[in-house]
Structure 1
Amino acid sequence: MEKAIKELRLILTVDNLDELISFYRDTVGLETSKEWHEEAGNGIILDAGRASLELVDAKHAARIDQIEVGGQVSGPVRLALRVSEPVAKATDKLLAGGAISVAPPTTAPWSEVSRVKAPDGMQITLFATSTLTD
C-alpha cells in the first residue's frame, strides 16, 4: 500500500532569513532543495533527508527536558536532528556557527544528545541514534 503522505515539511516564518539560511544550510548542513527570490517574498527549502512527526504530551516533554537539559526549557516546538558525526563534534560546529548551548552532550536513555538554541531561538536537540530504520 502506498503511503498517503510523501513528505513532512516544517515551515518557519522568520525576520532574519539570510542569517538563518547561513545557519541551517551552511552550519547545520541541510541541503538546498529550492530557493526563491521574488517581489512577493523570499524563501528556501532545505532538505533534511528524512522527516518524522513526534507527538508527546506535556508530561513527557517535561521528562525529555529534565533528562536532556536538567529542567523544563523548551516550548511547544523543538527540532531534533540525528547527526552523522559524534554529537559533541556536531554541537561544537553549531556553536561556532552562532548557536547557543542549552545543555552539553549527555547520554539519555535513547541516545547521546545535546541541546542548542539556534539564532532564531529554536531549540535543537542533536542525537546519535534513532528507532527509525535507515
Structure 2
Amino acid sequence: MKTTVKELRLILTVDNLDELIAFYRDTIGLETSKEWREEEGNGIILDAGRASLELIDAKHAARIDQIEVGQRVSGPVRLALRVAEPIATATETLLDGGATSVAAPTTAPWSEVSRVKAPDGMQITLFATSTLAD
C-alpha cells in the first residue's frame, strides 16, 4: 500500500519574512492561502496552483545549469515557475521586485527560460512551457 498525497508544500525558513512575502506574493503573484502573525512566530502559505517534485541527480543539475546559465551555480534546491507572460517580461517584473539576474533569457531544449535569484538567495528558473497538462 502507498500513501496518497493531496498537496506538495515547500517550506522555506527565512530571516526577512516581510521582504519575501512582498516578493513572492506581490511581485511573483502567488496568492495567500493562509497567513498568521503570532507571538510564537509568523508565517504565510502562498498558493502556486499545481505543484510537482522534480528529482534529478548532480550530473543532470550540472547540465541544466550549463544550458540555462553557462556554468554550475545552483544548490540542492531551485524553484522553477511556469509563467504566462513572455519570459523577458516575467524576468523584468521579478528584477523590478528585488530579484537579481543569474542569466538572461535563453532557449533551452525544453522551453524558453530565465534564471534569477530571489532576495532570499533562492534561485528561480522561469519557464514558458511544460510537459504537464494545465
TM-score normalised per structure 2: 0.97
Task: State the match for 2:30 in structure 1.
Answer: 30
5 Å matches for 1:1-134?
A: 4-134=4-134
Unaligned runs of 5+ in 1: none
> For 2:6 and 2:90, how far apart are their aligned partners in 1?
28
Deviation at 1:67, TM superposition (A): 0.2
Code of the aligned partner of 1:98 = G
Write the letter of the residue equivalent to 2:85: E
Consecutive aligned runs of 4 or more in structure 1 exceeding 3 Å deviation? none
Instruction: Please give the root-mean-square deviation of Cα atoms over the aligned residues, in Å.
Output: 0.7
* Deviation at residue 36 of structure 1 after TM alignment: 0.3
User: CA offsets, 1:90-129, max 9 Å, x none?
Assistant: 0000000000000010000000000000000000000000
How big is each residue's C-alpha offset from its partner over 1:45-95, in whole Å with a ceiling of 9 and x where there is no partner?
A: 000001000000000000000000000000000000000111110000000
Q: Percent identity?
A: 86
TM-score normalized by the length of structure 1 = 0.97
Q: CA deviation at 1:41?
A: 0.3
Residues matched between the structures, number:
132
Unaligned runs of 5+ in 2: none
Aligned to 2:104, the other structure's residue is in SS state strand
